[in-house]
């Protein structure tokens, strides 16, 4: 049944749900649109409505063929006194699917295909960065593939600009939480430095790695362990990857933000590489070997893991209840050795097909599942939990200003839009 949003828009059916709200297929004065309605509990926060109003100009100003344009921003007063605001972002409708769903179907993309998608998104990021806007939550869920052109290669568009930052800002100033998704989070964010444009490059090239490999370079296990790996480990080379593509990935996954390419350079380097990548099949990479695990007996039965694994957990407060998508990953409590950065720090090692799995990992999938904890991001990955983990592990790295209060995963929020 159709429902009115403000005086100009009607929504018809749900296109998808994310951690911050629901995206609807709608109709406006200019035709079909996608309308993202923020979750009621988030919209009820008067500070949030104010922040959205404050960022209106930045949110509406981004225009590029690889960015999903925000056409309108509705902040409606509740109908009765004290009733929550309704916050809705009216966006161009993308006729296609998101990159996460595409990757789930394909498992791995051919190098030329992966490079084309990432070059598209880098082109969009270049424009945003030039306008002083950092996305801060680049990941496959936020990349949409426009399939309306039919047979030709789809255009990739980046969506959700600024939303992560606005939703996760602290209510009353002071320190915010970790904004973003652990698998894609640049080491400088983990270390508490203000996020600059280079964090988007790191996240986007993490997506490139994932499109090629089928998994992210530092993912797997407890989000705290993922964050530590972001700071301390280097990505494993993917077997069979062309040298120049691998060098580009390494450069953009550099721990030092200044060593990474800028968005425009990344786009043009990838486009230069594309003719050489044309015709190459997806890389022949086996599923990663799972990490060493904690004793089964320690796991509360009520938290047994679901069957499907996910790559990423969004760190948006209260993410679980409204989200139908499986945005939660399998997690496990890191053991002492892992927390200290020991031998089990790497979640998995890369296998080429046919190579046997290490140890007896195959012996019991059920036992493995039992040892994993499936918990919602909101419940366990609170800033306190990560902060506590970082404190315990000595801050996860030796560089960077942590904000003056000792090691912390919190990000000191800037005033106004993030700047590159
Ligand atoms: N402009 C759009 N046009 C068409 N479909 C869209 C559009 N924006 C979002 N969607 C669909 O709605 C779904 C939910 O999007 P949303 O941005 O709320 O969440 P997400 O990015 O998947 O997750 P999260 O917010 O947790 O990061 C997407 O997976 C996508 O399929």
State residue 363 phi and psi, 5-degree precision. -60, -30
What does the pLDDT read at residue 211? 98
What does the pLDDT read at residue 240? 96
- Expressed in angstroms and rounded, the spacing between residue 142 Cα and the centre of ligand 1 is 7
Q: What average pLDDT does the structure give for the chain?
A: 73
What does the pLDDT read at residue 289? 64
Helix extents (H) in 8-98? 40-43, 46-54, 56-61
pLDDT of 125 strictly over 80: yes
SS3 category, 371: helix
Q: How far apart are CA 181 and CA 226, in angstroms?
A: 10
- Expressed in angstroms and rounded, the spacing between residue 16 Cα and the centre of ligand 1 is 6
Q: How far apart are CA 50 and CA 309, in angstroms?
A: 37
Q: Is 137 among the residues known to form the active site?
A: yes
First to last CA, the chain: 43
Closest CA to 46 of 6, 74, 77, 4: 77
DSSP letters, 309-320, are --S-----TTHH
User: By alpha-carbon position, which residue is closest to atom 28 of ligand 1?
Assistant: 16
- Where does the pLDDT of residue 185 fall: very low under 50, low under 70, confident under 90, or very high at 90 and above? very high
Ligand 1 contact, 180 CB (< 6 A): no
Of 20, 92, 141, the residue with max ligand 1 atoms within 8 A of its CB, to mutate for a pocket test, comes to: 141
Q: How far is CA 283 from CA 52, 92, 120, 235, 280, in A?
A: 42, 34, 21, 16, 8
Looking at residues 97-118, what average pLDDT do you find? 97
User: By alpha-carbon position, which residue is closest to atom 19 of ligand 1?
Assistant: 18
Decide which of 35 and 349 is more confident: 35
- Expressed in angstroms and rounded, the spacing between residue 36 Cα and the centre of ligand 1 is 8
Helix extents (H) in 161-262? 163-168, 187-190, 197-213, 223-232, 243-252
pLDDT of 128 strictly over 60: yes
Q: Is-contact 35 70, C-beta < 8 A?
A: no
pLDDT of 351 strictly over 90: no
Q: Is the dihedral of CA 33, 199, 189, 323 positive or negative?
A: positive
Q: State the DSSP code for 67.
A: B
Ligand 1 contact, 36 CB (< 6 A): yes
- Where does the pLDDT of residue 283 fall: very low under 50, low under 70, confident under 90, or very high at 90 and above? very high
- Where does the pLDDT of residue 60 fall: very low under 50, low under 70, confident under 90, or very high at 90 and above? confident
User: By alpha-carbon position, which residue is closest to atom 9 of ligand 1?
Assistant: 23
- Where does the pLDDT of residue 201 fall: very low under 50, low under 70, confident under 90, or very high at 90 and above? very high
Atom in ligand 1 nearest the alpha carbon of residue 137 = 27
Q: Kindly state the helix (H) or strand (E) to which residue 265 belongs, with its residue range.
A: helix 263-277
Looking at residues 273-281, what average pLDDT do you find? 97
Q: How far is CA 385 from CA 131, 227, 239, 392, 406, in A?
A: 35, 12, 36, 10, 15
User: By alpha-carbon position, which residue is closest to atom 11 of ligand 1?
Assistant: 16
Task: Write out the two tokens for 159.
Answer: 């969506």
SS3 category, 217: coil
Ligand 1 contact, 94 CB (< 6 A): yes
Q: How far apart are CA 15 and CA 68, in angstroms?
A: 15
Single out the catalytic residue among 98, 120, 137, 335: 137
Of 9, 15, 24, 145, the residue with max ligand 1 atoms within 8 A of its CB, to mutate for a pocket test, comes to: 15
pLDDT of 97 strictly over 90: yes
Q: How far apart are CA 83 and CA 229, in angstroms?
A: 44
User: By alpha-carbon position, which residue is closest to atom 24 of ligand 1?
Assistant: 18
Instruction: Write down the residue that tokens 């929020």 correspond to.
Output: 413
Ligand 1 contact, 72 CB (< 6 A): no
- Where does the pLDDT of residue 388 fall: very low under 50, low under 70, confident under 90, or very high at 90 and above? very low
User: By alpha-carbon position, which residue is closest to atom 12 of ligand 1?
Assistant: 16
Task: Write out the two tokens for 379.
Answer: 């419940």
- ipTM of this predicted structure: 0.97
What does the pLDDT read at residue 48? 79
Ligand 1 contact, 327 CB (< 6 A): yes
pLDDT of 143 strictly over 90: yes
Q: Is-contact 60 179, C-beta < 8 A?
A: no
Ligand 1 contact, 181 CB (< 6 A): no
Q: Is-contact 312 139, C-beta < 8 A?
A: yes
DSSP letters, 341-353, are T-GGGSS-----T
Q: Which of 178-192, 229-243, 371-385 is predicted with the least confidence, judged by mean pLDDT? A: 371-385
């Amino acid at each position: 049944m159709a429902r009115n949003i403000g005086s100009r828009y009607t929504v018809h059916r749900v296109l998808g749900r994310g951690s911050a709200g629901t995206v609807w297929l709608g109709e406006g004065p200019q035709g079909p649109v996608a309308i993202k309605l923020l979750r009621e509990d988030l919209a009820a926060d008067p500070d949030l409505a104010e922040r959205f109003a404050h960022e209106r100009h930045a949110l509406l100003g981004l225009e590029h063929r690889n960015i999903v344009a925000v056409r309108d921003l509705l902040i409606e007063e509740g109908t009765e006194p004290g009733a929550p605001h309704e916050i809705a972002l009216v966006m161009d409708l993308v006729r296609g699917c998101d990159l996460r769903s595409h990757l789930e179907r394909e498992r791995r993309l051919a190098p030329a295909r992966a490079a084309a998608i990432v070059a598209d998104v880098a082109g969009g990021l270049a424009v945003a960065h030039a306008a002083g806007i950092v996305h801060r939550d680049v990941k496959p869920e936020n990349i949409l593939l426009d399939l309306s052109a039919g047979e030709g290669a789809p255009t990739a568009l980046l969506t959700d600009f600024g939303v992560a930052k606005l939703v996760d800002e602290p209510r009353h100033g002071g320190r915010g939480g970790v904004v973003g998704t652990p698998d894609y989070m640049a080491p400088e964010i983990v270390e508490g430095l203000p996020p600059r444009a280079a964090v988007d490059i790191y996240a986007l090239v993490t997506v490139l790695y994932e499109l090629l490999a089928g998994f992210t370079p530092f993912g797997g296990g407890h989000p705290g362990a993922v964050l530590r790996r972001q700071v301390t480990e280097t990505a494993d080379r993917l077997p069979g990857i062309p040298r120049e593509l691998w060098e580009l990935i390494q450069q953009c996954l550099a721990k030092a933000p200044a060593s990474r390419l800028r968005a425009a350079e990344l786009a043009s380097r990838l486009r230069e590489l594309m003719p050489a990548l044309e015709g190459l099949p997806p890389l022949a990479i086996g599923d990663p070997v799972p990490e060493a695990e904690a004793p089964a007996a320690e796991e509360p039965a009520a938290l047994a893991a679901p069957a499907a694994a996910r790559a990423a957990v969004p760190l948006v407060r209260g993410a679980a209840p409204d989200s139908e998508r499986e945005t939660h990953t399998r997690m496990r409590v890191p053991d002492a050795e892992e927390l200290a950065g020991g031998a089990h720090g790497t979640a998995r090692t890369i296998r080429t097909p046919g190579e046997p799995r290490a140890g007896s990992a195959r012996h019991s999938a059920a036992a493995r599942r039992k040892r994993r904890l499936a918990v919602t991001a909101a419940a366990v990955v609170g800033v306190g939990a990560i902060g506590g983990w970082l404190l315990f592990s000595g801050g996860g790295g030796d560089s960077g200003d942590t904000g003056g209060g000792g090691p912390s995963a919190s990000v000191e929020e800037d005033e106004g839009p993030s700047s590159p």
